[in-house]
């Protein structure tokens, strides 16, 4: 039985796990603490620093679990680093918001004990494949988790962005840009731009224009089973395409971007009974407005 199947089955692992701890160099002390906790539970831990930044070696075969230290940005880098060999990840929040990295650092020991007892669940998140097509040739491929963004850029005038769905022209946006988001990315840049929150276990793409010239250009949600192409006939000198916040390439006239659902899926380990709306209430302060947010910032003080 492959090592990762011990977690995929939802049963107690029963044997020591091969665990990789990833995160930034700033979290080295926390990585050491987590490694000690893992060793105390009998697991084998390897530490990797700065995943996704070109300095970390690719993941080795046989990894059972990845513990990601940091915030949601660290989760995005880890997902990209894992590539097509996605294994379950436990996100430990060292930042502030943490929609994806939602295990507080003080709860790591308890979370690992729950995992060892089989009291956990695995939640798959849709990923996407990005292709930049120039002159009929694919010049860049990327795997993403949150979103692809087309930005008009300097000289900061609107550009035209054509959206084609399964080969059929859908609309032309005249706007400052366009966000193409997955459900898990709907609470990131998409939300800041006024887009909707989409339940993260859905398979869909969210198209949110940035400052559209026409008020009828609203956010559209469509099935991830379709193929999408975004064309930019006349970009600005500073126009660019991004994947998960990283600039992939500047855009030149005639460029096209292809987006489709990826075969690998990013898998997060969820511990305890913290549900979807619990997360939204906690992270977006839905449970009591500004006062609840202020209490949360003070560590729960009344």
pLDDT for 186-201, tens place per residue? Answer: 999 999 999 999 998 8
Tell me: the pLDDT tens digits for 35-67? 998 898 888 888 877 765 555 677 777 888 999
Residue 77 has pLDDT above 80, yes or no: yes
Rounded to whole angstroms, the Cα distance separating 247 from 133 reads 16
pLDDT tier at 5 (50, 70, 90 boundaries)? very low
Average pLDDT over residues 143-166: 96
| Rounded CA separation 102/85 (Å) | 23
CATH architecture of 127-263: Sandwich (2.60)
* Three-class SS of 213-246: CCCCCCCEEEECCCCEEEEECCCCCCCEEEECCE
What is the predicted pLDDT for the residue at 293? 54
232 touches 152 (CB < 8 A): no
Domain spans of the chain, in order of start: 5-118, 127-263
The counts of H helices and E strands in the chain are 7, 17
pLDDT digits (tens, 9 = 90+) for 192-232: 999 999 998 899 999 999 999 988 889 999 999 999 999 99
- Predicted local distance difference test score (pLDDT) of residue 25: 72
- In this predicted structure, the answer to whether residue 4 has a pLDDT above a threshold of 50 is no
pLDDT top residue among 8 and 181:
181
Q: What is the pLDDT of residue 63?
A: 85
CATH number of 5-118: 3.40.50.10330
Q: What is the C-alpha to C-alpha distance for residues 178 and 239, in angstroms, rounded to an integer?
A: 12
Please list the active-site residues: 72
Query: Residue 116's pLDDT band (boundaries 50, 70, 90)?
Result: confident
State the burial class of residue 105 (Cβ atoms within 10 Å of its Cβ: 0-12, 13-18, 19+).
Answer: middle
CB 182 within 8 A of CB 128: yes
Region 81-96: mean pLDDT is 87
CA-CA-CA-CA torsion for 286, 290, 295, 297, nearest 10 degrees? 90
């Amino acid at each position: 039985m492959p090592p990762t199947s011990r977690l995929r089955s939802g049963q107690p692992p029963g044997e020591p796990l091969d665990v990789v701890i990833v995160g930034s160099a700033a979290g080295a002390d926390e990585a050491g603490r987590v490694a000690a906790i893992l060793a105390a539970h009998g697991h084998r831990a390897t530490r990797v620093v700065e995943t996704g930044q070109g300095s970390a070696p690719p993941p080795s075969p046989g990894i059972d679990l990845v513990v990601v230290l940091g915030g949601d940005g660290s989760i995005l880098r880890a997902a990209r680093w894992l590539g097509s060999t996605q294994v379950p990840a436990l996100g430990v929040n060292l930042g502030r918001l943490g929609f994806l990295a939602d295990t507080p650092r003080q709860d790591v020991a308890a979370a690992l004990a729950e995992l060892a007892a089989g009291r956990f669940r695995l939640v798959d998140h849709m990923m996407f494949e990005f292709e930049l097509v120039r002159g009929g040739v694919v010049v860049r491929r990327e795997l993403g988790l949150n979103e692809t963004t087309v930005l008009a850029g300097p000289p900061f005038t609107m550009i035209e962005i054509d959206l084609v769905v399964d080969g059929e022209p859908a609309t032309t946006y005249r706007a400052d840009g366009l966000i193409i988001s997955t459900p898990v990315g709907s609470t990131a840049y998409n939300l800041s731009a006024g887009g909707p929150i989409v339940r993260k276990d859905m398979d869909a793409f969210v198209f949110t224009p940035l400052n559209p010239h026409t008020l009828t250009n609203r956010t559209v949600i469509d099935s991830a089973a379709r193929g999408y192409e975004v064309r930019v006939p006349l970009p600005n000198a500073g126009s660019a395409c991004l994947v998960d916040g990283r600039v992939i390439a500047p855009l030149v006239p005639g460029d096209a971007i292809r987006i489709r659902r990826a075969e690998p899926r990013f898998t997060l380990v969820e511990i305890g009974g913290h549900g979807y709306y619990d997360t939204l209430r906690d992270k977006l302060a839905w449970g009591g407005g500004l006062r609840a947010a202020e209490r949360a910032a003070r560590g729960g003080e009344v």
